């Protein structure tokens, strides 16, 4: 899920509304939206699942469910892809529950380092390992917020759309998680 792909212009969003309307009339028109968002959705899922075949299967389920429920899509000044991310998120949660798999977040080392620097730019090397441990201790929904905000670089508006919460709520929740992370890391330092 790349920030650049995500922040699409207003004009493009309106174009998407037309594509959604066409897909409601004839499912074959959904192919344009499928083509546009296949890669970001596939990568979003692969980032968590790390298995190509299973990712392909879940990605296909996401688009099939989106197509079946396309009438339910409501334009909320966020791109259609955020609605897809919401479906993908639910599908992955189901997958983890069904397979009894540990909630694993795969993150590029650079991004984790960058995130650590944002938290504390002075003791970054020492913090890096502690930060990994602190992230592991978070509740899954808290970790998801960190993942979306800092590793996938989504805006609060986009996070709100995916999690079906208000933008303000997304902002507050993110702030609280960061505060909690800082406290956990500091406690580790005291031990």
Partner 1 sequence: MKNKIETKEREIADSDALKYKDFDGVLKKASILKASSRVNFKWVGGIAGVILASTAAVIYFSGSDGIFAARKEKIVTIAMITPDAEKITASNNSVIETKNGSLIVIDENSFVDQNGQVIKSGVELSFKEYHDPLEQIISGIPMTYDSAGTQYHFESAGMFEINAVDANVKINPHAPLRVILNSKKNGTDYNLYEYNKEKKNWEFLARDKTPANFSKEKMLKKLHIEFSGKMSSTKDQVASLKSVQANIDKEKPILPKEENKENYRVSIDVDPVEMPELATFKNLKFEVLPNSNFDPRKANLVWEYAAVKKEKEKYIITFYKGGTTYAVEGVPVYSGKNYSDEKRKFDFGISAYNRRMDSITLALSEKTKILEAAKKKVEDIIAIQVKEKPLIAEDEEVGGMEHEVLRAFTVSKFGTYNCDCPKTLPTEQIVNAHFKSKEGNLSLTQVYLVERNNKKMYTIYDSFFKTFPFNPKNSNLIISVDSIGQIRYFDNFGSIGSGDDKVDFAMTPLTIADPSAVGIKKFFNF
Residue 72 sits in the site that holds partner 1 (CB under 8 A): no
User: Closest approach of Cβ 6 to partner 1, in Å?
Assistant: 15
Residue 105 sits in the site that holds partner 1 (CB under 8 A): yes
Give the number of other Cβ atoms within 10 Å of residue 85's Cβ.
28
Residue 52 sits in the site that holds partner 1 (CB under 8 A): yes
Could you tell me the two tokens for 173? Answer: 């929740």
Which of 50, 79, 47 lies closest to 148, judged by CA? 47
User: Closest approach of Cβ 29 to partner 1, in Å?
Assistant: 11
User: Closest approach of Cβ 11 to partner 1, in Å?
Assistant: 25
| Residues of this chain, 145-164, that bind partner 1 according to CB under 8 A | none
Half-sphere exposure of 161 (CA within 13 A, CB side): 19
CA distance 55 to 47: 9
CA distance 128 to 109: 10
In the complex, which residues of this chain contact partner 1 (CB under 8 A)? 27-28, 30-31, 34-35, 38-39, 42-43, 46-47, 50-53, 55-56, 59-61, 63-65, 67-68, 102-109, 112, 132, 135-138, 140, 143
């Amino acid at each position: 899920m790349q920030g650049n792909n995500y922040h699409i212009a207003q004009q493009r969003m309106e174009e998407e509304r037309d594509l959604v309307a066409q897909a409601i009339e004839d499912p074959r028109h959904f192919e344009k939206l499928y083509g546009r968002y296949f890669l970001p959705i596939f990568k979003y899922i692969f980032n968590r699942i790390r298995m190509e075949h299973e990712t392909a299967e879940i990605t296909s389920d996401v688009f099939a469910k989106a197509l079946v429920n396309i009438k339910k899509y409501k334009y909320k000044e966020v791109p259609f892809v955020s609605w897809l991310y919401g479906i993908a998120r639910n599908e992955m949660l189901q997958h983890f529950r069904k397979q009894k798999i540990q909630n694993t977040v795969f993150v590029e080392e650079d991004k984790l380092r960058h995130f650590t620097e944002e938290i504390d730019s002075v003791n970054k090397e020492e913090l890096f390992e502690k930060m990994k441990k602190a992230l592991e201790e978070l509740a899954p929904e808290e970790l998801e917020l960190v993942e979306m905000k800092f590793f996938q670089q989504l805006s609060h508006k986009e996070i709100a759309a995916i999690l079906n919460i208000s933008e303000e709520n997304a902002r507050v929740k993110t702030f609280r998680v960061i505060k909690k992370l800082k406290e956990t890391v500091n406690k580790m330092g005291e031990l």
